C-alpha cells in the first residue's frame, strides 16, 4: 500500500536476514525497493558470538536471493569493533569485488548505557577511511539527497562501500533523517533531547494538514550537531529504544 502511493519512490527495509531466503521474492513483489541486511561478521564463529545465532550461511543465501529478486540496492550493515571483527575488513572488500552489494561500515556510537563498551571497542571511522583510500578507493561527491554515508567506489569492484562516521566533522550538516518511534514520537535526531508526540494528530484523515504543519514547525529546531563528541547522548539509552 505504501509503495503504491504516487509520491513515494523508495521503500527500504532493514533485517537481520534470518528469513530473507524465504521471503526475498515476496517482499520485492510487495513493493520494497531497497533492503539492508546486518552482517557483523563473515566468520561463522564470530557471527555466532555477536548475534547468538549460528545462521551466517542462511543469511548469505538470503542476500543472494535478494540480489536475484531485483532489489534496487542491497546494503550490508557492519559495525566493526576493535579486537572483535575489525580484522575482517579485507574479507568484506573481497565480497564486494564481484558482488554488486553496498557494504556500510558503521562507526560504533556511544549511547546512554554503553560507555565502558564504547571505550573498549570503538574503532574510529578515520581508520577505515584511510585504509580504503590506501587501497585505491575513491570518495564520491555527495548529492543533495544523499543519506548519512560517505560513498566510495573502486574501478575494479562490482560493489561499493559506504562509511557512516558520526564523529566526523560536519556529519550532521547534511542530515536528512527524521524518525518516528513506535510510541508515535517524532525524533529530529537519534540523540536529541526530546521527542514530540504525533499521536494526537494521527487519529483521523482530516488532521493531515495539522500533522504536516507540526512536523514542518519542528524542523526549525533540528540542530547542527548531535554533540556526541562531547559525550552527550541525549535521551537515547540504547538504539533498541528508538528502533534504529
Answer with the residue of higher pLDDT: 240 or 59: 59
Rounded to whole angstroms, the Cα distance separating 49 from 99 reads: 26
Q: Residue 50: what pLDDT?
A: 94
CB of 56 closer than 8 Å to CB of 97:
no
Ordered structural domains, the chain, with CATH:
12-164 (3.20.20.70), 179-241 (no CATH)
Check residue 183 and give its pLDDT. 83
Q: How far apart are CA 165 and CA 74, in angstroms?
A: 20
pLDDT computed for residue 235 by the predictor: 64
pLDDT of residue 170: 66
pLDDT computed for residue 177 by the predictor: 81
Question: How far is 150 from 171, CA to CA, in rounded Å?
Answer: 10
**In this structure, how many other beta carbons lie within 10 angstroms of the beta carbon of residue 82?**
15
Residue 193, pLDDT > 70, answer no
Mean model confidence pLDDT for the chain: 88
List pLDDT tens digits, range 97-119: 999 999 999 999 887 677 898 89
Q: How many distinct helices (H) and strands (E) make up the chain?
A: 7, 10
**Residue 148 pLDDT > 80:** no
Beta bridge partners of 156: none
DSSP reduced 3-state for 19 = coil
Residue matched to cell numbers 550537531: 225
Q: How confident is the model at residue 191 (pLDDT cuts 50, 70, 90)?
A: low
Task: Identify the CA nearest to 140 among candidates 160, 126, 125.
Answer: 160
Distance of alpha carbon 233 from alpha carbon 216, whole angstroms: 24
3-state secondary structure of 21: helix
> What is residue 8's predicted lDDT score, i.e. its pLDDT?
94
Q: Which residue has the cell 532493514?
A: 14
Is the pLDDT at 27 greater than 60? The verdict is yes
Amino acid at each position: 500500500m505504501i509503495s503504491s502511493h504516487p509520491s513515494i519512490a523508495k521503500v527500504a527495509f532493514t533485517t537481520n536476514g534470518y528469513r530473507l531466503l524465504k521471503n526475498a521474492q515476496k517482499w520485492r513483489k510487495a513493493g520494497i525497493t531497497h533492503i539492508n541486511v546486518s552482517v557483523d561478521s563473515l566468520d561463522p564463529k564470530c557471527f555466532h558470538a555477536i548475534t547468538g545465532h549460528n545462521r551466517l550461511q542462511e543469511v548469505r543465501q538470503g542476500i543472494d536471493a535478494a540480489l536475484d529478486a531485483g532489489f534496487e540496492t542491497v546494503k550490508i550493515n557492519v559495525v566493526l569493533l576493535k579486537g572483535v571483527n575489525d580484522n575482517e575488513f579485507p574479507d568484506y572488500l573481497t565480497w564486494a569485488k564481484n558482488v554488486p552489494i553496498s557494504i556500510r561500515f558503521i562507526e560504533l556510537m556511544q549511547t546512554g548505557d554503553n560507555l565502558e563498551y564504547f571505550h573498549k571497542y570503538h574503532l574510529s571511522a578515520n581508520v577505515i577511511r584511510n585504509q580504503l583510500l590506501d587501497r585505491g578507493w575513491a570518495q564520491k561527491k555527495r548529492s543533495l539527497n544523499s543519506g548519512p554515508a560517505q560513498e566510495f567506489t573502486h574501478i575494479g569492484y562490482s560493489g561499493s562501500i559506504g562509511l557512516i562516521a558520526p564523529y566526523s566533522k560536519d556529519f550532521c550538516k547534511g542530515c536528512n533523517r527524521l524518525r518516528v518511534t513506535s510510541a508515535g514520537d517524532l525524533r529530529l535526531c537519534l540523540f536529541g533531547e526530546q521527542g514530540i508526540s504525533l499521536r494526537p494528530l494521527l487519529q483521523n484523515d482530516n488532521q493531515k494538514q495539522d500533522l504536516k504543519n507540526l512536523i514542518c514547525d519542528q524542523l526549525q529546531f533540528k540542530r547542527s550537531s548531535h554533540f556526541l563528541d562531547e559525550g552527550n547522548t541525549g535521551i537515547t539509552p540504547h538504539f533498541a529504544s528508538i528502533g534504529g
